[in-house]
Amino acid sequence: MDFGKERVVALVDMDCFYVQVEQRINPELKNKPCVVAQYKTWKGGGIIAVSYEARAYGVTRNMWADDAKKLCPDLQVARVRESHGKADLTHYREASVEVIEVMSRFAVIERASIDEAYMDLTASVQQRIKDMTALEIKPHHLKSTYVQGFPQNQETHAALDKDEERARGLKQWLDSLLSCPQANCAELNLAVGAILVEEMRSAVEEHTGFRCSAGISHNKVLAKLACGLNKPNRQTVLPLGSVPQLFSSLPIGKIRNLGGKLGTSITETLGVENMGELTQFTKVQLEQLFGEKTGPWLYDLCRGIEFEPVKPRQLPKSIGCSKNFAGKTCLATKEQVQHWLHQLALELEERLNKDREMNGRVAKQLTVGVRIAGDKRANSFSRCCALARYDAAKITVDSLAIIKSLNTAGNHQEA
């Protein structure tokens, strides 16, 4: 077995997911520049999902719908439902369950978010190889597959369009696999993994109408990175041999788990920008700077090696809801806080009951988080307590009690 190449891991991520959900509900929105926006009151609402047609006009997430229309006058705007005075994501959650259900027929999956899942395909690949009559893989088994780093050493063919370039790279890579030692080649495993993922993605589209992209590699980090390389409706194989070139110009923050504080601290401590530059440090150096867990993990990671297992888990680990009160709308009295806690608790009660019914499990812990006006973090404060009953009134009282400890005004004051 090759070190770091033992597994075949894939990540599947839906393309502009909320947009596709809205387009299925209202087919007139299909194949058009389209966004999903939340709330209407301020500048037409904030955009949370953007179709690829709209991206071509420069429309992005977090823009106001009114501003996006200036870039793209024909923009279609679908609205997130509201209930209890807040966004209601039920449609998207239910669509997610449909997708996860289809994927689970193919592999044991780890649901990673509302629209993506990891899968370890190692065993399925071995089984498929046993079942194959010939070890030769034909390009037509991999119709939507890109191979990162291929075609190699070639003068740029300005005349080739993107799909011709893809087909050329795929063919070159498949030809190179013919010299693999029989059935014991990490790259052959990736190719067979890619066939399984093509089949899975076709099944997802057939059963749900939704399209997705995927990354296929040897670990979760590389699979996630690969998935984003040729979106939408395409999948990308990332062989370990193509990692050095890819990492040579890849900002550290683009890597899974390095988008936040840790990534910033690496960049600042070491004075490097790209993932590939980390290879110049020894394991001992990285260990001294980042500790005995993170150091060796980084040492391997910058070489494309990572071992985090895919955890079999289809259900979300927690059920939560929240609402932001930006700027002047921030809550200022006890009555306001109580009112909104109650609204959140009503949604929670509904979803907890549904979850108990569907999944036969009971939540035991309640966590309450608060953001103080002006704080940039998602949470300024969070605490938990026991969740004894699925009861909105009780949840409201308990969370208010938790939040009270935050109050800087005296106990006798209502503020």
Q: Which residues bind ligand DCP (CB under 6 A)?
A: 13-18, 48-49, 114-115, 231-232
Report whether 212 contacts 13 (CB < 8 A): yes
CB nearer to Ca ion: pick between 17 and 92: 17
Structural Rg of the chain based on CA atoms: 24
Find the binder of Ca ion among 8, 13, 22, 230 (CB under 5 A): 13
Stretch near Ca ion under the rule CB under 5 A, chosen from 10-18, 181-189, 274-282, 352-360? 10-18
Classified as helix, coil or strand, 207 is: helix
The DSSP secondary structure of 65-78, one letter per residue, reads HHHHHHH-TT-EEE
CB of 49 to ligand DCP, least distance (A): 3
CB nearer to Ca ion: pick between 106 and 118: 118
CB of 352 to ligand DCP, least distance (A): 21
CB of 247 to ligand DCP, least distance (A): 22
Residue 147 to residue 163: CA distance in whole angstroms: 12
Report whether 225 contacts 251 (CB < 8 A): no
Stretch near Ca ion under the rule CB under 5 A, chosen from 13-21, 123-131, 346-354, 368-376? 13-21
Q: Does 14 engage in binding with Ca ion (CB under 5 A)?
A: yes
Residue 48 interaction partner, one of ligand DCP, Ca ion, none, beta carbon < 5-8 Å per kind: ligand DCP
Residue 253 interaction partner, one of ligand DCP, Ca ion, none, beta carbon < 5-8 Å per kind: none
CB nearer to ligand DCP: pick between 95 and 387: 95
Classified as helix, coil or strand, 99 is: helix
CB nearer to Ca ion: pick between 70 and 311: 311
By CB under 5 A, how many residues form the interface with Ca ion?
Answer: 5
Closest CA to 322 of 5, 38, 7: 38
Q: How many other C-beta atoms are found inside a 10 Å radius of the C-beta of residue 182?
A: 8
Residue 114 interaction partner, one of Ca ion, ligand DCP, none, beta carbon < 5-8 Å per kind: ligand DCP
**In Å, what is the CA distance from 94 to each residue of 101, 338, 355?**
11, 29, 12
**Farthest CA pair distance, the chain:** 80
Site for Ca ion in 223-242 (CB under 5 A): none
CB nearer to ligand DCP: pick between 37 and 142: 37
Q: Does 197 engage in binding with Ca ion (CB under 5 A)?
A: no
CB nearer to ligand DCP: pick between 87 and 387: 87
CB nearer to Ca ion: pick between 116 and 349: 116
Residue 49 interaction partner, one of ligand DCP, Ca ion, none, beta carbon < 5-8 Å per kind: ligand DCP
H runs (alpha helix) in 132-282? 162-177, 186-208, 220-227, 243-247, 261-270
CB of 20 to ligand DCP, least distance (A): 8
79 class by beta-carbon count within 10 Å (0-12 exposed, 13-18 middle, 19+ buried):
middle
CB nearer to ligand DCP: pick between 13 and 110: 13
Residue 27 to residue 16: CA distance in whole angstroms: 15
Measured at the CA of 228, the angle between CA 298 and CA 51, to 5 degrees, comes to 145
The DSSP secondary structure of 157-173, one letter per residue, reads -TT--HHHHHHHHHHHH
Q: Does 110 engage in binding with Ca ion (CB under 5 A)?
A: no
Measured at the CA of 236, the angle between CA 230 and CA 241, to 5 degrees, comes to 120
Find the binder of Ca ion among 53, 110, 115, 277 (CB under 5 A): 115
CB of 362 to ligand DCP, least distance (A): 27
- Footprint on this chain of Ca ion (rule: CB under 5 A): 13-14, 17, 115-116
